[in-house]
Amino acid sequence: MDNDISRLTSLDDTRKVLDAYLKGHDESVLSDDVVFEVMATGQKMAGRDRVKQLLDYFYNKAFTAEYSIKSLVVSEGKAVLEADFFGKQNLEFAGIQPSGKEVHVPLCVSYDVSEGRIKYARIYFESDALRMQR
């Protein structure tokens, strides 16, 4: 991972990338070698197609869900999203069986942006909050 990402992407460019991405997970702003890492498990998905599959599984299969943005902090080459993930759990997830109820789970994602593309995302999903809503 490039330690000088902030030199490569301006604040305005970073904001444009995140705005595009957060409107429906626009994969055109993902770099070809993008990595999404689920911090609780260490699971990493590398490459645009793999990340697209992960997002589809997460939002459309394991859950029928969306998110609402609570806050978004953007700087040069970096962004942090805090959101409320909400919807219905359809499949077992992280060992948690679906309850049939709507769930709300805190979600935080830290993004690295370089050369107009998302290069890396670290996902913090509060599985314990999901477990408590059963």
- The predicted pLDDT at position 41 comes to 83
Give residue limits of the domains in the chain. Answer: 5-22+30-132
- The predicted pLDDT at position 110 comes to 98
- The predicted pLDDT at position 44 comes to 94
The segments of the chain whose pLDDT lies below 50 read 1-3, 5-6
Per-residue CA distances from 86 to 17, 49, 65, 106 (Å): 24, 24, 5, 9
* Rounded distance between C-alpha atoms, residue 52 and residue 73, angstroms: 24
Structure-block tokens of residue 16: 């444009």
Per-residue pLDDT reduced to its tens digit, 110-123: 999 999 999 999 99
- The predicted pLDDT at position 8 comes to 59
- Pairing between β-strand 78-89 and β-strand 102-114 as defined by DSSP bridges: antiparallel
- The predicted pLDDT at position 1 comes to 45
- The predicted pLDDT at position 96 comes to 87
Residue showing tokens 């459309």 = 60
Concatenating the DSSP letter of every residue in 14-41 gives HHHHHHHHHTTT-GGGEEEEEEEEETTT
- The predicted pLDDT at position 58 comes to 87
- The predicted pLDDT at position 61 comes to 93
Rounded to two decimals, the pTM is 0.87
- The predicted pLDDT at position 75 comes to 95
Q: Which fold has domain 5-22+30-132?
A: Nuclear Transport Factor 2; Chain: A, (3.10.450)
